[in-house]
Structure 1
């Protein structure tokens, strides 16, 4: 059985690995599952991908982080100071749909947020989007005009709500047994391919990596201690940036709804897992 987060976060002495980096000292990180409860993560996972795709950094000193699309039609921002704070993605759609927006809480993992934001920087697929397709292994139910899919462990959800007054929205999020987590909403006219890309990352069973001291305390979290060299972290970050540039330049007809432009943050050959 995988260790609890409390056990996995016990400090471990750094391990100096020979042959993997000249004079480098390995750093302790953790692979965390489920990813929806892993906490926010490094904002650069989102911003550097967009920057590599030609987006403009419009952040203000001491204020919110913000990126703007080349055509100025979409803005992605993160505000840690406002209440409730977190991510806001705002777009101007062409045609009768008008403006749309998505709001995601501060603890929404950047890997899941990037499902939506990465898709913003890529041409759309010709295939009709289906938000529920990535959630085929989740538990689904229809109740009171709402259609909901819940992760197998019950911690994450995706719901399309239709209220009695005719209002509609997408509602998503994740909570542990102690009530810690995040929520998010999408206006009903948010482009469906973006919601699908978000749902695909929400449903992914791949763990995400967090540095020592950044793993939330929760009995529902499973975490594995790993030793990572700074050069490995830089290489993985660069691979994601390179993939972003390649995805931007590739012909749109060669893309699927979820091409593998996201570099894996680790591989079994790169990182030795240490169960504690």
Structure 2
């Protein structure tokens, strides 16, 4: 913690993009502490070969039953610990690359000399808020629109896959995690790159003997991607619906048979026809004409029932929980305080924080250059 505090108080904090690297570093520490707790859980669940009190049942059969009951719990703890360590390893490799690169790139007299922001001592915090009434760093905010809220907790995706029996593996020479379906016919690869605006997820599979592939940008909310991978774990419907009704029901404008746009005009979804009815490419993109590009996704020959699930997830209007600076651009979102950090994955993908009472409201985001106001 002393080393993290030293980094947080260093000149690295004024390097462009360092906020997201420091957030990722804090998440890495979180992953390792969860892994340590899961390893301790293995020890706690292990029935030690002691002797019972006089008169209590104490036979080989009783001990065998104790071990039988403990084995699944110990395996669950071990699996969770391994995943957390995998995530921590991937994050460490990624951070070591970008922090070293950014420090070399920005070292010199052109780095601003402004002092780093002061840290609020833990002893001065009460109930997740600083003594001066401002939200502490661990506050969570109901963030809208969800499609500009950033990735959030990637474990919403990985735990959805694990719960369906997918296995994970990592490669020591690359920053990559691979998840494989129980049948071995579908894979999901998470490979972070220095920019969250590039593709982080690469998913491949087959449907009716036709291969398909999908790419998802790093800034796509995990809540949206979790719904897509959740559909991968279920049988395909016999008569799949088309994606357009889910979008138009949410107020999107269906421009043509192959295009639709969100009312904000920032998010678009369109289809490019290929050589056959199942060869279409579907593209979703969140960007402004003269401003930032947030993310894009490409679904090439993906079965229409999966495309429809993805479109419906994009169309949802429920807020998602994010930290104050856990979004790509504060100027394009509205945030309302809901409380302090909860354990990851405490809600199912697609649910909203509406059941949490707001403790306060942040002012609407100010309009960026060009006059575009905050989205509602």
TM (normalized to structure 1)? 0.72
Does residue 178 (structure 1) correspond to residue 291 (structure 2)? The answer is: yes
2:171 paired residue among 38, 44, 60: 60
Partner of 1:91: 205
Q: Moved runs in structure 1, 4+ residues, more than 4 A? A: 11-15
If you compute each CA radius of gyration, which structure gives the higher value, 1 or 2?
2
2:148 paired residue among 37, 40, 44: 37
SS at structure 1 position matched to 2:224 = helix
Displacement, 1:149? 0.6
Deviates more, 1:119-128 or 1:197-206: 119-128
Partner of 1:161: 272
Partner of 1:119: 231
Whether the 8 Å CA contact 1:15–1:26 is kept in 2: the answer is no
Q: Take 2:218 and 2:191, find their aligned partners in 1: how far apart are those partners?
A: 8
| Contiguous gaps of at least 5 residues in structure 1 | 1-10, 18-24, 241-261
Alpha carbons of 1:204 and 1:273: their partners in 2 closer, same or farther (altered >3 Å)? farther
| Contiguous gaps of at least 5 residues in structure 2 | 1-118, 129-135, 363-376
Question: Matches of residues 230-245 of structure 1 in structure 2 within 5 Å?
Answer: 230=342, 233=343, 237-238=345-346, 240=348
Displacement, 1:15? 4.2
- Give 1 or 2: higher helix fraction: 2
Provide the aligned length of Structure 1 versus Structure 2. Answer: 227
Partner of 2:318: 206
Question: Matches of residues 128-139 of structure 1 in structure 2 within 5 Å?
Answer: 128-136=240-248, 137-139=251-253
1:48 paired residue among 137, 159, 163: 159
SS at structure 2 position matched to 1:157 = strand
Q: Map Cα deviations across residues 181-202 of structure 1 (whole Å, 9 max, x no partner).
A: 0111111x21111110000110
Displacement, 1:169? 1.5
Does residue 267 (structure 1) correspond to residue 341 (structure 2)? The answer is: no
Whether the 8 Å CA contact 1:131–1:195 is kept in 2: the answer is yes
Alpha carbons of 1:213 and 1:154: their partners in 2 closer, same or farther (altered >3 Å)? same
SS at structure 2 position matched to 1:58 = strand
For the aligned residues, what is the CA RMSD? 3.0
Displacement, 1:239? 5.1
Does residue 152 (structure 1) correspond to residue 258 (structure 2)? The answer is: no
Partner of 1:109: 221
SS at structure 2 position matched to 1:57 = strand
2:139 paired residue among 28, 41, 45: 28
Whether the 8 Å CA contact 1:148–1:159 is kept in 2: the answer is yes
Displacement, 1:161? 1.9
Q: Take 2:272 and 2:341, find their aligned partners in 1: how far apart are those partners?
A: 45
Q: Take 1:138 and 1:91, find their aligned partners in 2: how far apart are those partners?
A: 29
Q: Map Cα deviations across residues 41-93 of structure 1 (whole Å, 9 max, x no partner).
A: 22111001110111111233462122111001111111113884411110023
Q: Take 2:347 and 2:322, find their aligned partners in 1: how far apart are those partners?
A: 18
- Give 1 or 2: higher strand fraction: 1
Q: Take 2:178 and 2:274, find their aligned partners in 1: how far apart are those partners?
A: 32
Q: Take 1:80 and 1:223, find their aligned partners in 2: how far apart are those partners?
A: 26
Partner of 2:27: none
Partner of 1:250: none
Q: Which of the pair has the greater relative contact order for Cα pairs under 8 Å at 6+ separation?
A: 1
Whether the 8 Å CA contact 1:112–1:202 is kept in 2: the answer is yes
